[in-house]
């Protein structure tokens, strides 16, 4: 009987005297829901934009009407930016709009609703519009990024991003993180290319995931390259783009984008010289690794209306996706202790000491790559992750522009500080006990 008196909407009212929530409490609940269930609460609506556009242009034969519909389509796509930024259909739509704008000579400024009065359509361009920048019709020069630097000007600064293992991320800013990031996530997105990875759980019940699919889209660029897509999956590391070609297409500088197979089925290198970029994709065991060398200018070439806040290589993983080495180690130590009592071995086949010895064989320096190897062996038991960490570091040596930054070290490393950490906690306990004792004595004296 009491339930019948409770109104479903009472919890959303901001005025009242009983257990009704305040406006601030409601906002806090909404923020919590959005952070815990981002996919359910922020669904991408890009397909609706696509269907509305094609429906509005199916019976339109006039250029002016088509351009109006195209501008409306562009506005719809931009409004989905925050919820669709990790969706390749969104990036493909963005790029397709640019192509259609150019092909039909449409201005980005103008009406976005059907025009009331008919006017004569602008004459179609006789040839593609000239590039906006200083890069004119000289195809070979335009398509070689290194040649674009004047003789006495400062050289380009190059950055590196790597993604490997369970997975571990090294950002363009040399931050190192271990993340959960299950499902599809964008690594890179700028004016020239987009990279998306799909991560799958390594072991049922574990937070650890690894990359099982990788998609790279190179957008068409002036006289240099056509749009190309490269797709790799577990046990399928192709030596060509999705259309079967190995270069940038039929344009004048097509050979400045090419796929080079270094080791069949294991190691592919994609060279995009027109943007000074090199990408390395490997399959190690059942999973993929990714590494890139890219000029800072290209990294920060933001599209209009895009703040790049969701791209892992630039800003790292969201806070709710991070995995703490120290927390994991404490749990792993406790779990292994119980397992050794029962069977003498760790749950996934590696004890802590055995994992250390295995990682030391390939990674003698106890930096973050050694730590990531240790983490992966203890969390999955998959010996192939040792080689994933090793090759990730080899890619750093090949792609990173600063040899002094090859090795990264955590302030509180995953291994090697068990005794100091225990001593630190003991000191805190002693200080706390001393404080309580002095406070008790002080109160007793006053009484």
Predicted confidence (pLDDT) per residue in 6-24, tens digit: 443 333 333 344 444 444 4
Residue 437: its pLDDT value, please? 58
Pairing of strands 267-272, 257-263: antiparallel
Residues 345-356: tens digit of each pLDDT? 444 578 989 999
Q: Are 36 and 79 in contact (CB under 8 A)?
A: no
Alpha-carbon gap, residue 353 to 416, rounded angstroms: 11
- The mean predicted confidence, pLDDT, of the chain is 76
Alpha-carbon gap, residue 318 to 2, rounded angstroms: 43
Q: Find the mean pLDDT for residues 280-305.
A: 93
Q: Which residues contact 270 (CB under 8 A, 6 or more apart)?
A: 216, 230, 257, 258, 259, 260, 278, 279, 280, 281
Q: Are 85 and 186 in contact (CB under 8 A)?
A: yes
Q: Is the dihedral of CA 362, 364, 368, 374 positive or negative?
A: positive
Coil, strand or helix at 309? coil
Alpha-carbon gap, residue 83 to 56, rounded angstroms: 24
Coil, strand or helix at 122? coil
Indicate the burial class of 18 (C-beta count within 10 angstroms; 0-12, 13-18, 19 or more): exposed
Asked which of 37-41, 176-180, 295-299, 398-402 is least confident by mean pLDDT, the reply is 37-41
Alpha-carbon gap, residue 72 to 147, rounded angstroms: 39
């Amino acid at each position: 009987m009491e339930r019948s008196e409770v109104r479903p909407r009472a919890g959303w009212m901001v005025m009242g005297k009983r257990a009704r929530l305040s406006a601030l409490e409601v906002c806090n609940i909404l923020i919590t829901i959005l952070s815990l269930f981002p996919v359910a609460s922020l669904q991408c609506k890009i397909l609706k934009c696509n269907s509305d556009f094609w429906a509005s242009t199916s019976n339109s034969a006039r250029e002016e009407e088509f351009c109006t519909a195209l501008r409306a389509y562009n506005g719809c796509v931009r409004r989905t930016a925050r919820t669709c930024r990790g969706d390749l259909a969104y990036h493909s739509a963005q790029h397709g709009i640019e192509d259609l704008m150019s092909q039909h000579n449409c201005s980005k400024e103008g009406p976005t609703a059907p025009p009331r009065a008919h006017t004569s359509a602008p004459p179609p361009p006789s040839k593609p519009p000239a590039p906006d920048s200083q890069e004119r019709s000289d195809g070979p020069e335009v398509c070689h990024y290194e040649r674009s630097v004047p003789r006495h000007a400062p050289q380009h600064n190059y950055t590196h991003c790597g993604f490997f293992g369970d997975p571990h991320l090294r950002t363009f800013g040399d931050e190192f993180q271990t993340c959960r990031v299950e499902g599809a996530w964008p690594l890179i997105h700028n004016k020239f290319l987009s990279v998306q990875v799909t991560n799958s759980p390594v072991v049922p019940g574990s937070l650890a995931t690894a990359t099982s699919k990788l998609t790279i889209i190179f957008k068409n660029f002036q006289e240099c390259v056509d749009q190309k897509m490269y797709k790799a999956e577990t046990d399928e590391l192709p030596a060509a783009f999705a259309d079967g070609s190995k270069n940038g297409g039929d344009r004048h500088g097509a050979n400045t984008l090419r796929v080079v197979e270094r080791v069949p089925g294991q190691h592919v290198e994609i060279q995009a010289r027109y943007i000074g970029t090199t990408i390395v994709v490997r399959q190690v065991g059942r999973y993929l690794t990714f590494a890139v060398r890219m000029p800072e200018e290209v990294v920060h070439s933001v599209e209009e209306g895009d703040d790049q806040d969701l791209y892992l290589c630039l800003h790292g993983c969201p806070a709710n996706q991070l995995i703490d080495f120290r927390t994991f180690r404490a749990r792993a130590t406790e779990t292994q202790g119980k397992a050794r009592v029962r069977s003498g071995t760790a749950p996934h086949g590696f004890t802590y000491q055995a994992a250390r010895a295995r990682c030391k064989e390939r990674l003698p320096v106890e930096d973050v790559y050694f730590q990531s190897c240790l983490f992966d062996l203890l969390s999955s038991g998959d010996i192939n992750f040792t080689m994933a960490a090793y090759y990730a570091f080899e890619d750093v040596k090949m792609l990173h522009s600063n040899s002094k930054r090859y090795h990264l070290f955590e302030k509180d490393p995953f291994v090697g500080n068990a005794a100091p950490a225990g001593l630190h906690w003991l000191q805190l306990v002693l200080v706390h006990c001393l404080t309580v004792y002095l406070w008790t004595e002080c109160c007793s004296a006053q009484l």
